Amino acid sequence: MLMSSKSVAANIRAITLDTLTMTVVAILFLMELVNLLVMREERRRLDDPRPLSTSAGFMRPIIFVCMFAIDLSLSFVPLRLGELSPDLLGLPPDVVMSLPVSFEMFMVGLAIMLGGFWSERSGWRPLLLTGVSLVTLGNLASGLSADPFLYIASRGLAGSGYGLLNLSAQLFVLAHSRPDQRAGNLAAVFAGLFAGALCGSASGGLIADRLGYAGAFQVAAALMFLTGIVLWRTLPREHAPQRKGPALTHSGPGLRETLSFITDPRMAALLFLNIVPGAFVTVCLFQFFVPVSLNQGGASPADIGRVTMIFPLVIVYLGPLFGRIVDRSDRKYRHLALAGLVAAVSVGALMALDGIAAATLAVTLLGLSNAILSNAQGAYALELPATERYGAARAMGLYNVVERLGQVLGPVSLGIIIAVWGRNAGLGVMAIGLAAMSLAFAVASRHQPSRNAELGARP
């Protein structure tokens, strides 16, 4: 039996792309291993008697492996529900497939909020091991569930595990870093996080292409289970730092202070014209619309995984460059407004083009936008006088809550808009709304210099 030349060419193309994808993944794994070996040799050279597991840098390979397992399912979370029941409760398919993503994002935010209180009593280690356990159970249930409601609940379970993992990783770094090293150590951990997401999304597509979505979830659960066993045996057992009574009594901000902070013109513009829209469109496109539209267009899981890996790839390699540019700028709001406009263009790319080309361009532009936002939003927020009055730690906590709000609302809102107005009309509304908010943010911030600029202008 002879194959046509077109079939042969298609198979060669698929094999070539799969090989290149695994080459990229292998290189990133090798880089993380080299980082770990270099860190061990440096401690040996300095004759440091402490075990490697007490070093802040030890969290980078941990978060890399954890994110690899977590994001194996990144490109097909909504697609699995489409397999189980695309007409849940009589809702339109676009709304149905948005539910697991939105619920997962909701549980991430809830876990981070509750984990903050838990960590004050127990420290970072129970949070991390509990997070690993929840992700394991969530992925296992996602692969075994035949009921759509159980599947949605399992994604919430996995989301709560990721929230605890994310929080515990940051707490570990803060507990094992000197004050002058915390920013750099946190940046290294987040670099490992995005590198793991890159490898996971690409590998997950290849696995799903051969084992199906359910099989890929089970592989992710097995990998996370093995990771948990290793971490349980290697992580240091430490007690939570004891806080004194007065610090606990006065740690929470009052309602009046919080309302004053949120209603500050510059802070309100940042929160509701930049942070919420940015989180909204990122989850809408990256975790919902792009995978669903590619699947409906006949793309294979491997192709969908390769497209989604572009997003963390852009952030990992262009994020530090934009970080240096933003740090040197006295008008950081301009970079934030530009990032919002780039995100609006990424939505427009999905309207102007079709298929993998449209998805590739959109995800690349979205990654470029997030490479700017991830550096500029926190830096700009910390420069505002409202943050100085409210407190930097409290401000960043509220920043995270507002960002999760945008992530939760994104997929469901877009699903409803598409169901009511259609695909292009829904994307058009999103693009125009995002561009309008970005321009409004630029106008609202233009004549209001940051605290750094105010200090620089003083004689």
What are 53-91's pLDDT values in tens digits?
Answer: 667 677 888 888 899 999 888 888 888 888 887 777 777
User: Do 54 and 182 form a contact (C-beta atoms < 8 A)?
Assistant: no
276 and 229 fall within a common domain: no
Q: How many whole angstroms separate alpha carbon 195 and alpha carbon 31?
A: 10
Q: Are residues 259 and 231 in the same domain?
A: no
Question: What value does the mean pLDDT of the chain take?
Answer: 81
Evaluate if residue 244 carries a pLDDT over 50: no
Flag whether pLDDT at 242 surpasses 80: no
With 80 as the cut, is the pLDDT of residue 255 above it?
no
Do 343 and 407 belong to one domain?
yes
**Looking at the structure, do residues 73 and 153 belong to the same domain, yes or no?**
yes
- Name the band, by pLDDT with cuts 50, 70 and 90, for residue 247: very low
Residue 201 inside a domain? The answer is yes
Please report the pLDDT score of residue 3 as a whole number: 61
pLDDT of the residue at 126: 87
Of 46 and 259, the structure prediction assigns the larger pLDDT to 259
What gap in Å lies between CA 61 and CA 83, rounded to an integer? 34
Q: Region 239-267: what's the mean pLDDT?
A: 65
Domain boundary among 235, 263, 284: 235
Contact between 385 and 395 under an 8 Å Cβ cutoff? The reply is: no
Q: Are residues 291 and 342 in the same domain?
A: yes
pLDDT grade for 252, boundaries at 50, 70 and 90? low
Higher-pLDDT residue of 372, 398:
372
For residue 181, what pLDDT band results from cuts at 50, 70 and 90?
low
Confidence band for 183, pLDDT divided at 50, 70 and 90: low
Where residue 430 sits, what CATH number does that domain have?
1.20.1250.20
Confidence check: pLDDT of 101 > 80: yes
Looking at residue 49, what is its pLDDT? 61
**298-343 confidence digits (pLDDT tens):** 888 888 888 888 888 888 778 778 877 877 777 888 889 999 999 9
Q: What per-residue confidence (pLDDT) applies to 314?
A: 87
Sorted by sequence, the CB contacts under 8 Å of residue 321 that are 6+ apart come out as none
The answer as to whether 269 is a domain residue is: yes
Mind listing the pLDDT tens digit for each residue in 147-178?
A: 999 999 999 999 999 988 988 887 887 777 77
- Domain extent, residue 178, equals 18-235
Q: How would you class 394 by CB atoms within 10 Å of its CB: exposed for 0-12, middle for 13-18, buried for 19 or more?
A: middle
pLDDT of residue 53: 62
Highest mean pLDDT among 19-23, 238-242, 358-362, 416-420 belongs to 358-362
Residue 106 lies in a domain: yes
Residues 291 and 396 in one domain: yes
Residues 327, 413 share a domain: yes
Structure confidence at residue 303 (pLDDT): 85
> What's the confidence (pLDDT) of residue 48?
61
219 and 264 share one domain: no
Number of domains in the chain: 2
Residue 65 domain flag: yes
Same domain, 310 and 279: yes
Amino acid at 163: G
Label residue 306 exposed, middle or buried (CB < 10 Å: 0-12, 13-18, 19+): buried
Half-sphere exposure of 335 (CA within 13 A, CB side): 25
This prediction has a pTM of 0.76
Predicted pLDDT of residue 362: 92
The pLDDT, as a whole number, for residue 57 is: 73
- Write down which residue in 202, 235, 268 finishes a domain: 235
Asked whether residue 294 falls in the same domain as residue 183, the answer is: no
* Pair 264, 212 in one domain: no
Calpha distance 366→229 (Å, rounded)? 36
Burial 91-105 (b: 16+ CB within 10 A, else e): bbbbbbbbbbbbbbb
Is the pLDDT at 243 greater than 60? The verdict is no
CA distance 87 to 297: 19
Would you state the pLDDT for residue 1?
53
Q: Is the pLDDT assigned to residue 41 strictly greater than 80?
A: no
The mean pLDDT of 379-400, rounded to a whole number, is 76
Mean pLDDT of 263-286: 88
Instruction: Tell me, yes or no, whether 330 and 220 share the same domain.
Output: no
- Torsion on CA atoms 291, 297, 298, 304, rounded to nearest 10: -30
